[in-house]
Structure 1
């Protein structure tokens, strides 16, 4: 070969030697192609091994929060490119080998590949040389990842949780909310919810509003330094072995470098000082947010959250799905499924209980095991795994209650049956009688204290709102935990609870002897033991709801020497034994609803009795010796129609009486000149100096200008005075009273006038001017009364305390007499609720407003029903420009109503400004002539709920696309909705998903 090249070179001369050298190089590469290729493959193996080693160190460093150096990143990129080039070259060689034709072209390709092999061999050698990395492979990471994935179960498919998640997401985008509270009872899934929020923000499809999201768990035993270390680790701060004060400064400086951060503080038990922690306040670091989860709403308040979102339990369908996920296929198998469904329901939607119980039953294919678990759950007995995973975490909420009395108050709530709605007043009364509240406080102070305790328990998610107004209840799992605690106490406060289990016989159980509280509420016992029981420690005996119990044996009560509370309400007892008088420590005797009880034994010996409740009994007279109960503080004689005699002086001596309820008793109070000889007159009540709560029926309002009446009525904190309220067969009026429910603060000082001659009511202004709510129903001379009030205003001023006014069932108009006018100033400046019913002559509310000079500046709710001549509500302009506080309007059965407002040309505000800018709820029913709600192009920006039925001429709603996001629900007939007119189709389509069609039953309409 060399001879051949030399010969060719001599022939071509010096100018061609360079070309020959090139040819020589190519020939040499070609001749060494195989050996070079083998060498390249071996070097590539070394390079791959080194690459694997580098990547392994990078992975290890990543777990330590470290990053590869820039040199390493470039090197790996070059190695990856080299591997790609090698794969391309191998493919080309295979094609060259497989090409059997075209020898010359094949030889040319092989020469080219030979050159590439040599070049790659040199490049690989350089990459191996560069792989020493004297500065190291990884370095500390000073730039944290914006969002880290947090492992946790998904809430996908759970509509309740998804709704809460959407609410939190909305708050994150709303600049008004810098601090967001997420609260709920233990085990409800708050942590799971915010984990899903975090991971949703990490999703590639999510628009990321934050430069960094930081999650930290606070826990019950808050350790400032530990939480600071968590934050420092997430922010990649080094040298963290510093004092909490110095660390707070460093954290604050580091947070300030973030444009917008989101800090999630999970499981907060007490308020955290952000300054001590080292976190900038969201109100200062604009755009940043703090989300905290807590078991109590109180913690959210202490952390001054801008919005609080309560996490509730799952609905039944979601609970069953979650239960099956954890219990497995066995829960769906027959015959287990029917039992499994009930077991799942016993968890009452609490995710922690559902998951734990479901997992404990996983794989158990014997139906007997499921029945056994169900029995244990119903008895509030923790099955295997429940005590540690469910009961103990929930007990932490109980342990966190700061006051031992509050803890006991909480445990008293589990004495009632499962799902039982407890009246708030009854609960507070029970706590007081048990000695859990300060007996030196008066009725109002006790009520305030009791309400504060209830609010605290609700904020801790240990109590929920009950099914009825002014009631509370316990979540079933919380009740199970409370029973578990109450039945295992060793300090003499143990409870024996057998409530709501259809118990038919008194139990023979030694635990009765050592228990302080015995509860047999809502059972089916027909008789009690006729012997003396050894219950010497019992202070509470609850037998309420024993609907088959007719007798309390004499000897039965003899074993309860220290009994403080005896509740027999709702039983069928006809009398009480004289052994009752031996209960010298008795504080509360509750007999409400004992409809067969006609008399009580003499009560003289019960000197410590403070509460006597005879509501709904058939007693005909007050028990003998009641005047000696000088410690009696609460007496309930309401709904006792047979009680028609009260001896003069019988109540006068009850010097400590604070609350007297005689609503719907058979005794009508009247002035002393109007009652029979020997009967108690109304004036006797004025001498009860500690009385602050009173509910009575009057035959006539006492006419007096004496200061004694004024001083007395102002001393009362609550009163309900019902004047000629009912008579024989007056059921219609009783039913109408239940047609609406006023807010609690309005009924604190209530006056009801029904079927009463109002011509002389001027002489009773002392009662009117002190009422917060007044009902006038079926009364004559109402126009004369209004005139008198207008005239009286010049003497006594406005009726500023009145917040609720109801006028109903009147055939008389509000027109003043000849030569008389209305008030020159607003007589009801603080009126918030106005109810008008069955007013045959009312054409406009201005008829009433002109009489009393009303401006409606504080009006929040307006309800008008059955006013057949009503043409419009109010004139707008002049004295009424805007109804700024109005939140709700309810109109029904006003056949002639054509429009809401009649606009005066003198109206000063801009034509398109809404008359009701804050109206949220609108209910319209049976208004066949209603055509317009407001002026053309006027919109009501705050509307959230609409219900419109039988208003077929109403073609347009005051809604725009800009306000569509406020809407929560629109209800009405499908035909009406389809015929509505819109400014544009986009508005209608945006509101369409809020619309729910209502099927109207024509038979029901005919009845109405």
Structure 2
């Protein structure tokens, strides 16, 4: 039987030991309960402190657009649960510890409940201690994946920029366009346009991985640009702080090379070396894009932009829309007269959005006509005094002025403010005045002229001047106001302008004290006489042109010892200069063009410092004292084109010109073959001649074109009333070849031929590739402009690549009774803007290809016939 069942033998000692351990442990739960509760409270407090420290780190990270880690959030949740459970345990403390206790606590009526309570306390004590240890996190948050586009605030939809926006947006879809430049003057809306482009990516389907916005600003720091790009593509601040510039560039390049990105750079003032920053150059393979804004057109070239767009001022219609939105309908409707006054204010802003917005806001609550009238007066008199203009508009525009690289550029810009609002400034005259002012003193001969044109180019590129055409520039009204603010207020001690140009003044005496003024402009008024002799010892510039001056008192210039530039031009009632002009011993530029003066006073000899003398279109000038012109040893510029209607330019004058060693710019009228021959004998005079007028030749000779072609800088040629001049002849193909090889007539832009009765054709014009204006009138024997027969004679040598009239913009043919055709060959006039044909009864064909003159205005005998001619393939009857 013993093999069938076995008996388990329990160890009495082991059982007893386990029983005693359990009993002791339970007894310990009971006996140390109060100590354990104290320890739990302490441990909980430590855990809460750890939790609070952790939360501060989390909140700081979240303020930096980071996301707390899941394990951190789990830990915080567990701490919260423990805090709740411990709170509940502590609420039961008095119930379990103080009630129903007997000696040592072992006789409690609810011993089991006390034991379970003590067990929970020990358990929570361990949990709290463990959680505290687990709360030691190195990182509490991580960066969120960046949104492809960050929406940027924009006040409203762009007004008047829609067309430019559409063009730029289309370029962003072109594979061949990687870099796009947006340029324009300050306050014109470039940043608004770029912001609209940024936000367009938010609601337009595209495959770009990231759109990055960086404001470069005037105080460009390439490290700052790198930092902004680095943050946008996910590099941590610690990394950006700790690594070298080159290491960060390498990291940025690696990341961005794998992305299709759009980089929007706002307000750059100089080239940003993006390769140095780490930005890959866009190419068709990666199809990324870079769009930047700048006030300086040259920057577009420096940035290797594939496409450039000028952001221009608004049209009047768009200006009115923008202004209305700022003023508000309630104000505009508050009085019947306000609407018309508001339109005047809009005109004063000249389409500049920044000015329209600023002034519109300022006028939003002005509901009486008197307030609006006063506002117009302030804007016209001194716009800087208008609310917010001197604080919000001009300082922003002044950044462009301050960014000019030297004081000469800044002085040349301010000088343009001497002209009236919206005035077309002749570049050539402007440079003459700059030479007289001494702005170009460090340059000699042609260098001074070239430097002047270079400066104009810089100011155009900086969007501080606007191009009217090849010869004229203008200054935006708000830029002009800013310039006057600088010259009259900000830099008054240095510049000190007084400008009352185009204000309708009838008397100069209405002007306040001239003393202390450095530059004074009274041009384009109605001043008829100068009765006082003002004391202005510091005056350097005086503009009195385009008035109604009939006489100037002899002592008027007596107290102007520092005057350097005197402009009296286009005073058609001015017949003489006062002998007292000899007091202007510092004068360097004298402009009397377009006046009716009859003679130059011998007292001009005192003007030893004269550098520029302009006598153009002085049609009644019939006497120049002998040796007067040669008495100006420093003369750089002499302009005598269409000078002297009643007498010829004497041969002795040509001789005098030979002795002017510093002469490098000349325009002149010659009235005899003898004078012309003497003139052509001088290589120096030929070289410096820019405009030549041949008038009233009374003998019969043929003029060899080759002699005129040697004037390499000739830009304008008049041949007037040379009734016996037989022709301008190209004698043989070899002469034609010489003209071609030496770039003869390469600079000729304007030709005016009138009353030359023996001319039959003007075939030599094929050698003038840059002709823009042709005016031929009253040449009775002209049968064709370009003779095919003469053209054939030289075609094999020189004319295969000639494109006659390729740059022609204006063509006038009138009173040519025998003209049959312009040319037997069909010509392309791709730049032609206007053609006027009148009193040419035999002309049946214009030789135009209709497609080449699609946008040209063509007038035949005063009637516009452009569409008919285009439709008829060039036929005219």
TM-score if structure 2 supplies the norm length? 0.73
Asked whether 1:692 is paired with 2:693, we answer: no
What is residue 179 of structure 2 aligned with on the other side? 179
What is residue 528 of structure 1 aligned with on the other side? 530
SS in 2 for 1:604: helix
Q: Contact 1:776–1:807 (CA<8 Å) still a contact in 2?
A: yes
Q: Contact 2:709–2:745 (CA<8 Å) still a contact in 1?
A: no
Write the mapping of 1:282-293 to structure 2, written as runs, cut at 5 A.
282-283=282-283, 286-293=286-293
What is residue 749 of structure 1 aligned with on the other side? none
What is residue 347 of structure 1 aligned with on the other side? 349
SS in 2 for 1:589: strand
Inter-partner Cα distance in structure 1 for 2:227 and 2:623: 73
The structural deviation recorded for 1:304 is 1.2
Check 1:331–1:507 CA distance in 2 against 1; reply closer, same or farther (3 A cut).
farther
SS in 1 for 2:606: coil
Q: Contact 2:435–2:611 (CA<8 Å) still a contact in 1?
A: no
What is residue 616 of structure 1 aligned with on the other side? 617
Inter-partner Cα distance in structure 2 for 1:799 and 1:645: 31
Check 1:276–1:60 CA distance in 2 against 1; reply closer, same or farther (3 A cut).
same
What is residue 635 of structure 1 aligned with on the other side? 638
Q: Contact 2:859–2:866 (CA<8 Å) still a contact in 1?
A: no
Check 1:243–1:697 CA distance in 2 against 1; reply closer, same or farther (3 A cut).
same
The structural deviation recorded for 1:305 is 0.8
Q: Contact 1:58–1:137 (CA<8 Å) still a contact in 2?
A: no
Inter-partner Cα distance in structure 2 for 1:305 and 1:756: 54
- Unaligned ranges ≥5, structure 1: 1-55, 75-131, 673-679, 728-753, 790-797, 850-855, 874-888, 892-899, 901-918, 928-945, 955-1004
The structural deviation recorded for 1:544 is 0.7
Residue 433 (structure 1) aligned to one of 433, 436, 443: 436
Inter-partner Cα distance in structure 1 for 2:423 and 2:829: 36
Inter-partner Cα distance in structure 2 for 1:660 and 1:502: 34
Inter-partner Cα distance in structure 2 for 1:669 and 1:57: 96
What is residue 422 of structure 1 aligned with on the other side? 425
Inter-partner Cα distance in structure 2 for 1:356 and 1:394: 13
What is residue 972 of structure 1 aligned with on the other side? none
Write the mapping of 1:776-787 to structure 2, written as runs, cut at 5 A.
none
Asked whether 1:829 is paired with 2:801, we answer: yes
What is residue 682 of structure 1 aligned with on the other side? 677
Check 1:351–1:231 CA distance in 2 against 1; reply closer, same or farther (3 A cut).
same
Residue 658 (structure 1) aligned to one of 646, 656, 664: 664
Over residues 414-438 of structure 1, what are the superposed CA-to-partner deviations in whole Å (9 max), with x where a residue is unaligned? 0011111111111111111111113
Inter-partner Cα distance in structure 2 for 1:775 and 1:141: 74
Inter-partner Cα distance in structure 1 for 2:524 and 2:775: 41
The structural deviation recorded for 1:543 is 0.4
Inter-partner Cα distance in structure 2 for 1:322 and 1:869: 52
What is residue 745 of structure 2 aligned with on the other side? 771
What is residue 170 of structure 2 aligned with on the other side? 170
Residue 726 (structure 1) aligned to one of 721, 730, 733: 721
What is residue 731 of structure 2 aligned with on the other side? 762
Residue 228 (structure 2) aligned to one of 209, 212, 230: 230
Inter-partner Cα distance in structure 2 for 1:644 and 1:683: 18
Over residues 111-133 of structure 1, what are the superposed CA-to-partner deviations in whole Å (9 max), with x where a residue is unaligned? xxxxxxxxxxxxxxxxxxxxx99
Check 1:872–1:826 CA distance in 2 against 1; reply closer, same or farther (3 A cut).
farther
Check 1:189–1:951 CA distance in 2 against 1; reply closer, same or farther (3 A cut).
closer
Inter-partner Cα distance in structure 2 for 1:230 and 1:776: 64
Check 1:275–1:701 CA distance in 2 against 1; reply closer, same or farther (3 A cut).
farther
- Unaligned ranges ≥5, structure 2: 1-55, 75-131
Write the mapping of 1:359-370 to structure 2, written as runs, cut at 5 A.
359-370=361-372
Inter-partner Cα distance in structure 2 for 1:161 and 1:947: 32
The structural deviation recorded for 1:720 is 4.1
Inter-partner Cα distance in structure 1 for 2:272 and 2:287: 21
Inter-partner Cα distance in structure 2 for 1:814 and 1:580: 50
Inter-partner Cα distance in structure 2 for 1:243 and 1:298: 31
Check 1:926–1:722 CA distance in 2 against 1; reply closer, same or farther (3 A cut).
closer
Inter-partner Cα distance in structure 2 for 1:319 and 1:386: 17
Q: Contact 2:642–2:693 (CA<8 Å) still a contact in 1?
A: no
Inter-partner Cα distance in structure 1 for 2:145 and 2:229: 14
SS in 1 for 2:383: coil
Write the mapping of 1:62-211 to structure 2, written as runs, cut at 5 A.
64-67=64-67, 139-156=141-158, 158=159, 160-203=160-203, 206-211=204-209
Over residues 624-660 of structure 1, what are the superposed CA-to-partner deviations in whole Å (9 max), with x where a residue is unaligned? 5333223333232333453414444233123223333
SS in 1 for 2:421: coil
Q: Contact 1:761–1:785 (CA<8 Å) still a contact in 2?
A: no
Inter-partner Cα distance in structure 2 for 1:783 and 1:341: 56
Asked whether 1:714 is paired with 2:676, we answer: no
Asked whether 1:564 is paired with 2:564, we answer: yes
Q: Contact 2:509–2:532 (CA<8 Å) still a contact in 1?
A: no
What is residue 212 of structure 2 aligned with on the other side? 214
Inter-partner Cα distance in structure 1 for 2:472 and 2:641: 20
What is residue 1000 of structure 1 aligned with on the other side? none
What is residue 262 of structure 1 aligned with on the other side? 262
Inter-partner Cα distance in structure 1 for 2:817 and 2:437: 50
Q: Contact 1:315–1:349 (CA<8 Å) still a contact in 2?
A: yes
What is residue 375 of structure 1 aligned with on the other side? 377
Inter-partner Cα distance in structure 2 for 1:310 and 1:447: 28
Inter-partner Cα distance in structure 2 for 1:620 and 1:247: 76
Write the mapping of 1:725-874 to structure 2, written as runs, cut at 5 A.
725-726=720-721, 757-758=726-727, 762=731, 765=735, 770-772=744-746, 810-811=782-783, 823-827=795-799, 829-833=801-805, 847=824
Q: Which has the larger radius of gyration?
A: 2
SS in 1 for 2:590: strand
The structural deviation recorded for 1:781 is 8.8
Asked whether 1:513 is paired with 2:515, we answer: yes
The structural deviation recorded for 1:525 is 2.3
Check 1:341–1:58 CA distance in 2 against 1; reply closer, same or farther (3 A cut).
farther
Q: Contact 2:552–2:577 (CA<8 Å) still a contact in 1?
A: yes
SS in 1 for 2:542: strand
Inter-partner Cα distance in structure 2 for 1:539 and 1:759: 46
User: What's the RMSD between the two structures over aligned residues?
Assistant: 4.4
Write the mapping of 1:192-591 to structure 2, written as runs, cut at 5 A.
192-203=192-203, 206-238=204-236, 239-241=239-241, 242-258=243-259, 260-283=260-283, 286-328=286-328, 329-334=330-335, 335-382=337-384, 383-438=386-441, 440-442=443-445, 444-466=446-468, 470-488=471-489, 489-507=491-509, 512-531=514-533, 533-547=534-548, 549-571=549-571, 572-591=573-592
Q: Contact 1:216–1:264 (CA<8 Å) still a contact in 2?
A: yes
The structural deviation recorded for 1:614 is 2.2
The structural deviation recorded for 1:243 is 2.8
Structure with the greater relative contact order (CA < 8 A, sep ≥ 6): 1 or 2? 2
Q: Contact 1:183–1:295 (CA<8 Å) still a contact in 2?
A: yes
The structural deviation recorded for 1:209 is 3.6
What is residue 672 of structure 2 aligned with on the other side? 669
Q: Contact 1:703–1:763 (CA<8 Å) still a contact in 2?
A: no
Over residues 923-965 of structure 1, what are the superposed CA-to-partner deviations in whole Å (9 max), with x where a residue is unaligned? 69799xxxxxxxxxxxxxxxxxx974366678xxxxxxxxxxx
The structural deviation recorded for 1:871 is 8.2
Inter-partner Cα distance in structure 2 for 1:871 and 1:516: 59
Over residues 252-293 of structure 1, what are the superposed CA-to-partner deviations in whole Å (9 max), with x where a residue is unaligned? 2221231x1000000111111112222111138620010010
